[in-house]
Amino acid sequence: MKRLFNALFLIPLLLMSSLLKAEDGYRLWLRYDLINDQLILNLYNKSITGFMIEGSSPTLKAAGNELQIGLNGLLGRVIHPITSIKKDGTIVAGTVQSSPLIAALNIKYRLTQINDEGYIIISTVYQKKTIIVIAANTDKGVLYGTFHFLRIMQTHQSISGLSIDNSPKTKLRLLNHWDNLNRTVERGYAGLSLWDWKTLPDSISPRYTDYARANASIGINGTVLTNVNANALILTKEYLVKVAALANIFRPYGIKVYLTARFSAPVEIGKLKTADPLDPDVIAWWNKKVEEIYSYIPDFGGFLIKANSEGQPGPQNYKRSHADGANMFADALAPHKGIVMWRAFVYDNNVPDDRAKQAYNEFVPLDGQFRKNVIIQVKNGPIDFQPREPFHPLFGAMPSTPLMPEFQITQEYLGFSTHLVFQAPLYEECLKSDTYSEGKGSLVARVIDGNLEGHSLTAMAGVSNIGSDRNWTGHPFGQANWYAFGRLAWDPYLTSDAIADEWLKMTFSNDNKFVENLKKVMLASRNITVNYMTPIGLHHIMYAGLHYGPGPWVDKGRQDWTAVYYHRADSAGIGFNRTSTGSNAVGQYFQPVRDVYESLATCPENLLLWFHHVSWDYKLKSGNTVWEELCFRYNMGVDSVRWMQKQWLEAKGIVDNERFEKVSSLLVKQEENAKVWRDACLLYFQTFSKRPIPEKYEKPDKTLEYYKNLKYSF
């Protein structure tokens, strides 16, 4: 055991901060407070006597540090690292390469069954002593296994007879930060950007380490630091040294940094006359720029690129294809094993076709034309992070090209950081949708994990909701969406129920009644929000620009940014006809999905107005007409927020007062906003339906003009 790591384990600033202000939400789900169930505590104390980390890499040091603060906090006693096994109950963590003890165990075959980031956690006997082993093929795997073991303890599960084999099902699990160099965050509602570019690289905030640690705990292994609406300055030396400083902090936690590349950078900072991806001078400029980046950041992950979308420059400016543009970057990055994530979020107001169809129309003809280190990043639905959308038709439609989903963690269309909306059910709904691209069982999850089409480059991205607010996400429950994304990126087949259960126990309490009550709230919250915002398939009827409050009357500006483009309400009915008699967006789906959406009789009613323009008097399965169902859904949404408030009241005395009051006040705001949504939308749509709001419902106490004149801001 010559390489045994026995250095001083430093308590991170995260823990020190928590001692000063323990329940402000800063510690996220890594609280490690003393277990308050005496029976569980006694069992754990009998089962754990010490720990050994064999190896001295920065990543293994991070794993050892985590074990020490986790065990000390949960067990309420100081546990120091040890150098040899003298008692039952030692935890041993390492790899076959770093640990002679693990190399001596009969687990080599088992290690061949996990991937480079996977791990095994087992209870076994070594030299007549019962021990717990956290083993992996790489140091990163050990770190992930350590977090898994501590999660077991945080959620009060048994640690006897452990036999766990776990590997991530996607290769790249990334946060996309829509952060600007001036520290504003596009669609960010939790303060300023974490990245203080003015003080980097000389001043390193402890939050950077805490951020990396939190991400590693849920398996996130990459971060795109900058906004997809890119600024070329990030590629200059002035900023690359700052990016390198962040990369150095993140590296021990298994996290690579990525940047957004502005397509026109050769013109803007390179002084070339063109950014044509086939121009030799442009190709040479990017090759040199990539070499420069890797000289600062040897493990740089690659580029995320938004091109020819919403005014961003791209290859089409030069009559080139998306494949031409992506491949130029891919060729520059390939010698360094870097990748290109090319966003498929493209649409053009000058294209007369349905916006929902445009990404499919542009990208499907390019299938098979991209380099092997290019992956196409596709939003979960065909419009834009709506409260509910059908899955994007591109999933399954490009079998020769790896695709990765882009989910939004920040709540751009879901009430910002004011509303309690647990988005795991939204992610799960997409991931478990069946594309039928290769027959029944062709789930979106199987497309993106490479299982269906045989791709080795696999990934999932989430648009970050993290900011400079003390509790990271603004709303305490916003943390659950960050957590859920990481867990689903690791394993797209997990359930929202299981994720909510973990997060509640780790973040608040293991009290059974509390967990069951709040889990019901979390699992219902997304549908509740859909009901008071965009029921039965309505979409994109938000206040222009900010997308916070209602704006179904918005009809000014470019057509595909107006609400009337999407709901198409008139005296005859409401909804967007995307069937074969309308835009034929249904034609982009495989059978039998196409026919399901095409038919009024089989179209899911929660997507009815997405695919059909229907009469106000059309009868739904409930027996209600469309107008009556809208009235019912909007009112049920408001009533359900009141139910959420009542359920949260029962948490008083279980949850600390600071976080209890914070959530309580936000739920009051959520109810107020839900009422505005309900009243504004019903009054507006009533101008077309000419039907009364049924007497059993609350009546709007303001006029339609009042709601039209409301102004929203960040």
H, E, C per residue of 240-286: HHHHHHHHHHHHHHCCEEEEECCCCHHHHCCCCCCCCCCCHHHHHHH
How far is it, in rounded angstroms, from Cα 104 to Cα 131? 14
Is the four-CA dihedral 505, 508, 514, 518 of positive or negative sign? negative
Whether 686 contacts 697, CB under 8 Å: no
156 CB-near residues (< 8 Å, 6+ apart): 35, 37, 40, 505, 510
How far is it, in rounded angstroms, from Cα 509 to Cα 634? 33
How far is it, in rounded angstroms, from Cα 113 to Cα 118? 9
3-state secondary structure of 667: helix
Burial string for 421-455 (b: 16+ CB within 10 Å, else e) reads: bbbbbbbbbbbebbbbbeeeebbbbbbbbbebbeb
Whether 368 contacts 402, CB under 8 Å: no
DSSP 8-state assignment for residue 619: B
CA distance from start to end of the chain = 57
HEC string of 554-593? CCCCCHHHCCHHHHCCCCCEECCCCCCCCCCHHHHCCCCH
Q: Give the other-Cβ count within 10 Å of 229's Cβ.
A: 15
Closest to 170 measured CA to CA, from 112, 109, 226, 116: 116
Written as one string, the DSSP assignment of 125-193 is EETTEEEEEEEESSHHHHHHHHHHHHHHHHTT---SS-EEEE--SSSEEEEE--B-TTS-BTT--SSS-
Tokens of 369: 């034309």
What pLDDT does residue 14 have? 44
What pLDDT does residue 10 have? 39
Closest to 392 measured CA to CA, from 437, 325, 423, 352: 437
How far is it, in rounded angstroms, from Cα 69 to Cα 74? 8
What pLDDT does residue 22 have? 57
Cα 338 to Cα 241, 261, 302, 304: the distances in Å are 19, 13, 5, 11
Burial string for 328-363 (b: 16+ CB within 10 Å, else e) reads: bbbbbbbebebbbbbbbbbbbeeeeebbbbbbbebb
Whether 150 contacts 66, CB under 8 Å: yes
- Domain parsing of the chain, residue ranges: 4-166, 172-495, 531-576+613-708
DSSP 8-state assignment for residue 5: E
Phi-psi region for residue 687, left (φ > 0), alpha (ψ -120 to 50) or beta?
alpha
Q: Which residue has the tokens 């040897």?
A: 298
How far is it, in rounded angstroms, from Cα 264 to Cα 314? 7
Whether 417 contacts 670, CB under 8 Å: no
Whether 308 contacts 351, CB under 8 Å: no
What pLDDT does residue 138 have? 98
Confirm whether pTM is higher than 0.85: yes
Written as one string, the DSSP assignment of 91-123 is EEEEETTT-HHHHHSS-HHHHHTS-TT-EEEEE
DSSP 8-state assignment for residue 12: P
What pLDDT does residue 713 have? 81
How far is it, in rounded angstroms, from Cα 248 to Cα 102? 29
Cα 499 to Cα 78, 245, 274: the distances in Å are 30, 33, 49
Burial class (CB in 10 A: 0-12, 13-18, 19+), 368: exposed
Backbone angles phi, psi at 489, to 5 degrees: -65, -35
CATH of span 531-576+613-708: 3.90.1330.10
Length of the chain (residues): 714
Cα 6 to Cα 83, 221, 251, 365: the distances in Å are 7, 27, 21, 57
Residue ranges of the chain whose pLDDT lies below 50? 1-21
335 CB-near residues (< 8 Å, 6+ apart): none
Phi-psi region for residue 279, left (φ > 0), alpha (ψ -120 to 50) or beta?
beta
Beta strands 222-224 and 172-176: pairing type?
parallel
Q: Give the other-Cβ count within 10 Å of 6's Cβ.
A: 15
Residue numbers annotated as active site: 310, 384, 412
> Which CATH architecture does the domain made up of 172-495 adopt?
Alpha-Beta Barrel (3.20)
Instruction: Return the CATH fold of 4-166.
Output: Chitobiase; domain 2 (3.30.379)
Cα 540 to Cα 153, 412, 562, 646, 676: the distances in Å are 43, 11, 8, 30, 16
How far is it, in rounded angstroms, from Cα 80 to Cα 558? 64
What pLDDT does residue 495 have? 98
